[in-house]
A and B are shown apart, each in its own frame.
Chain A
Amino acid sequence: MSLLSWLLPRKKPVLSLEQHERLMRLPPATELGDTPMRTQRWVVVDLETSGLNLNRDQVLSIGAVVIEDGAIDFSQAFERTLLRPDNPLSPSMLLHELGPAAIAAGSDPADALLDFMAFVGDSPVLAFHAPFDQHMLTRALKDSLGYRLQHPFLDVAGMAPMLCPQVNQREAGLDQWINHFNLQVEDRHNASADALATAELALILFSRARTQGIDTPQALQQRLNQWQRRKQMHSF
């Protein structure tokens, strides 16, 4: 890849007929519901990427779990490693313990992303530092499938301090919250395990939200938006 390749017009991805049909069958995203929290299906996602650069780094693996009927459902889980033959070994891979061999053994990115979007369906997505995951997924879906991601994303990293204001943790990361709630995580820094930890955190936060009169996913989103706006205003 040339250094100037990002200046050139992007090539449209080439999909097989079958991949194209699957793409067409994906359900459209829906808005967050105005029904009780418990009736909402959520997908909690965590990505492993080749680095933190929003424009250059790539999604290496996706781990996701589902919250349905107010509980994490172990019968629904998603876990894929993406085939990235041209990706050089970067420091973040050590963090993720995902060696080149595991990445090489992965699935074709287009197939993996189609599988993932079918798994997501029309559900909203939760993630810790959701804007990052949202951005990386949007770009990967556009590059590999020419698909426009429109699902609502809610940031658990924002929900946590909003719903637990008494916890004095400024800009706390997932690790700090895991420690704060004493969550037992078997194998951190793996997309699936981090997604599960994020989902457990989300269940605690949903419970706290209920005691604060937040009864619907829509209300939660509104409160989160307000809180984030206010926080930005304060920081000016």
Chain B
Amino acid sequence: MLQNIHGTMQFLQRFPPFNQMENTHLAYLVEQCQLRFYAPGESIIRPTDGPVEHFYIVKQGRVVGERTHLGREEAQTTFEITAGECFPLAALLGERATRTEHRAAEDTFCLQLNKLAFIKLFGLSDEFRDFALRGVSSLLDKVNQQVQQKAAETLGTQYSLNTRLGELAMRHPVTCAPTVALREAVRLMHEQQVGSIVIVDEHKSPLGIFTLRDLRQVVANGIEDFAQAIDLHMTPDPFYLSPDHSAFDAAVAMTERHIAHVCLVKDQRLCGVVSERDLFSLQRVDLVHLARTIRHAPRLDTLINLRGEIGQLVERMLAHGASSTQITHLITQLNDHTVCRVIELVLAEKGDPGVPFTWLCFGSEGRREQTLHTDQDNGILFEAQDGAQAAEIRERLLPIAQQINHYLAACGFTLCKGNIMAGNPDLCLSRTEWARRFAAFIREATPENLLASTIYFDLRVVWGDEQGCEQLRRGILGQVADNRLFQRMMADNALRHRPPVGRFREFVLERKGGDKATLDLKVQGLTPFVDGARLLALANGVSANNTLERLRQLVALEVIEPLDGAAYEEAYHFIQQTRMQQHQLQTRENRPYSNRVDPDSLNQLDRRILREALRQAQRLQSSLALRYQL
């Protein structure tokens, strides 16, 4: 092989997908290439050039994509492509012109492959085809695979929580008609060695489920007539999912509903049953078990001991391919269970105060975006007729609230430095008092009030009646929608933390003392998305709390373009995933938790995607600046 072909192949083999392609295919690619030079500012491809004729790989330098928006003079840089990256896949595959002008940002060399050779290569190499078809999203897949692999290495097992339930439920479900005798049904279960039987109608549509737990109930109730029809004892209208749902969905459903069996139904016909055991034996993710143990913990000590298991569970979930969204969602759920149990234990210890109250949480807990280390941000909401009654109820509830705060701290929920806790008299309020407080935040937009609104307006009920909280939320949404000034102040506030990507440098890092230069994944990466989504949600009447959920609803309301929404979601998800991996690593190495990361410590692929993700945060901010003319 010629020296220069070999040298160029070596260069390409540092990047996906070329590092996975067969040598003969890669050699073919290089032999068909031309190497072109572009001076700074020179256009490489333009929308006016007509259908794209070449595939480009940046060998050296930097290419920027520029889009000119209607009514705006200057072009906006939408992306940046550096060494080893390719363009323009979508236009080439779509046999159309590019929508974005690609320009060299500095002295740039590109390998240029003509369309015929591209098509030939597309046919030859599976890896190349996959890459071309999936474009950037295949890069994201690579990252996810890497995450799973890394976590799997520490565990020595690999199984995906994304497995379709249809694949998990291999066995034929055991079924019977509603008129079958109890004795007959139990005999069937025994013969087939299963823990459940599904009662179906003539169309195989599930009417109910009867499990070993139900049998225990029957025996405990002292029923002696086992000739009774099964439908008298079954649990009617059993919960079901489709076979296309994932193992994760089933695990969540079991945790939420405290059930051990999920029916699989397709076209209204029963096609399988997945039991808790199926999930356990295959995955060893004893999430359901953990949730149940938390919920039934007899003493505070038990709860404290269980906290360590949550950490292990997160590690296992990462290994099993759960995404950061799934994990934060689950941590939130387990934390909710812990909070509920702590409240129950305190009430049992101190006695019922005799007034109904609701336990609220704020901040990341309110948005269901908790990671393992988490502060307490909570409060109490109750109903009172007037100020005097409110004060009287507060007197009764405060000792209980303080005890709950104290116990939660013992369980690993760090006490809030800002004293945003239910044991603080300012946060143990009647509905009227809360409403007055929130209205003041919106009316008087002082810096303190703006900061408070970013915490309190993500409120959610963890324990107790939800009605009062819903009324409060409706009040907030109505007032924010009417108050353009407040929105503008919030937008200004959302621009405080600039994502650390520069125009000319990869990352703009901060150096703290003598440490290595780093960036803060939470404040500089996630906060812009969280703040932006909150503002747009409150301004547009979206009642969801979760950042991704807010973005989705904003897309549905056409406040955000679907493509932008998807890009924000992917970017947010990636930064969160990086942050959680970081936390896991710190735990394993017995280092304190930190959100700061040195980009040089990431592999090249992660670094590139992180840069793109932060650039999306930047785009969200500039869209806010434009919307609110800041």
Q: Which residues of A contact B (CB under 8 A)?
A: 63, 65, 69-75, 77, 79, 181-187, 190, 192-193, 195-196, 199-200, 203-204, 206-208, 211
Residue from A71, A185, A207 having most chain B Cβ neighbours under 10 A: A71
CB of B3 within 8 A of CB of A200, answer no
A206 to B60: give the CA distance in the assembly, Å: 18
Q: A181 with B39: in contact, given A71-B112, A72-B34 (CB under 8 Å)?
A: no
Indicate if B316 sits at the interface (CB-CB under 8 A): no
CB of B31 within 8 A of CB of A187, answer no
CB of B39 within 8 A of CB of A200, answer no
- Which chain B residues lie closer than 8 Å to A72 at the CB level? 34-36
Indicate if B457 sits at the interface (CB-CB under 8 A): no
CB of A207 within 8 A of CB of B4, answer no
A184 to B111: give the CA distance in the assembly, Å: 13
Chain B 328-357: CB-based contact to A (< 8 A → 1; otherwise 0): 000000000000000000000000000000
CB of B33 within 8 A of CB of A74, answer yes
Indicate if B5 sits at the interface (CB-CB under 8 A): yes
Chain B 22-46: CB-based contact to A (< 8 A → 1; otherwise 0): 0000000011111111110010000
CB of B34 within 8 A of CB of A186, answer no
A200 to B107: give the CA distance in the assembly, Å: 11
- Which chain A residues lie closer than 8 Å to B34 at the CB level? 69, 71-74
Chain B 176-204: CB-based contact to A (< 8 A → 1; otherwise 0): 00000000000000000000000000000
Indicate if B78 sits at the interface (CB-CB under 8 A): no
A65 to B99: give the CA distance in the assembly, Å: 34
Residue of A whose beta carbon sits closest to that of B3 = A192
Indicate if B157 sits at the interface (CB-CB under 8 A): no
- Which chain A residues lie closer than 8 Å to B33 at the CB level? 74
Indicate if B8 sits at the interface (CB-CB under 8 A): yes
A65 to B31: give the CA distance in the assembly, Å: 12
Indicate if B7 sits at the interface (CB-CB under 8 A): yes
CB of A74 within 8 A of CB of B4, answer yes
Indicate if B109 sits at the interface (CB-CB under 8 A): yes
CB of B7 within 8 A of CB of A193, answer yes
Indicate if B59 sits at the interface (CB-CB under 8 A): yes
Q: Which residues of B contact A (CB under 8 A)?
A: 2-8, 10-11, 30-39, 42, 59-60, 83, 107, 109, 112
Residue of B whose beta carbon sits closest to that of A183 = B60
- Which chain A residues lie closer than 8 Å to B6 at the CB level? 186
Which 4 A-B residue pairings sit nearest by Cβ, starting from the closest? A186-B7, A192-B3, A203-B37, A71-B34
- Which chain B residues lie closer than 8 Å to A196 at the CB level? 4, 7
Residues of B contacting A: mostly = mixed
Residue from A65, A182, A186 having most chain B Cβ neighbours under 10 A: A186
CB of B59 within 8 A of CB of A184, answer yes
Other than the given A71-B35, A77-B4, 14 more pairs (CB < 8 A) read A63-B3, A65-B4, A72-B36, A74-B4, A75-B31, A182-B60, A184-B11, A184-B83, A185-B7, A186-B6, A186-B7, A192-B2, A193-B7, A204-B39
Residue of A whose beta carbon sits closest to that of B117 = A75
- 17 sampled A-B residue pairs with Cβ under 8 A: A63-B4, A71-B34, A72-B34, A72-B35, A74-B35, A75-B31, A77-B4, A79-B2, A79-B3, A182-B60, A184-B60, A186-B8, A192-B4, A193-B7, A203-B36, A204-B107, A207-B37
Residue of B whose beta carbon sits closest to that of A75 = B31
- Which chain B residues lie closer than 8 Å to A187 at the CB level? 3, 7
**Min CB gap A16→B, angstroms:** 27
A63 to B38: give the CA distance in the assembly, Å: 25
B32 CB contact (under 8 Å) in A74, A79, A181, A190 = A74
CB of A186 within 8 A of CB of B37, answer no
A204 to B8: give the CA distance in the assembly, Å: 19
- Which chain A residues lie closer than 8 Å to B2 at the CB level? 77, 79, 192
CB of B3 within 8 A of CB of A190, answer yes
- Which chain B residues lie closer than 8 Å to A211 at the CB level? 39
- Which chain B residues lie closer than 8 Å to A65 at the CB level? 4
Residue of A whose beta carbon sits closest to that of B106 = A182
- Which chain A residues lie closer than 8 Å to B83 at the CB level? 184
A207 to B41: give the CA distance in the assembly, Å: 12
A74 to B26: give the CA distance in the assembly, Å: 13
- Which chain A residues lie closer than 8 Å to B39 at the CB level? 204, 207-208, 211
- Which chain B residues lie closer than 8 Å to A195 at the CB level? 4
A64 to B60: give the CA distance in the assembly, Å: 21
Residue of A whose beta carbon sits closest to that of B30 = A74
- Which chain B residues lie closer than 8 Å to A70 at the CB level? 36
- Which chain A residues lie closer than 8 Å to B36 at the CB level? 70-72, 203
A13 to B5: give the CA distance in the assembly, Å: 34
**Min CB gap A212→B, angstroms:** 12
- Which chain B residues lie closer than 8 Å to A192 at the CB level? 2-4
Residue of B whose beta carbon sits closest to that of A78 = B2
B10 CB contact (under 8 Å) in A181, A186, A203 = A186
**Min CB gap A180→B, angstroms:** 10
A184 to B3: give the CA distance in the assembly, Å: 15
CB of B32 within 8 A of CB of A75, answer yes
A184 to B83: give the CA distance in the assembly, Å: 11
**Min CB gap A179→B, angstroms:** 13
A204 to B107: give the CA distance in the assembly, Å: 8
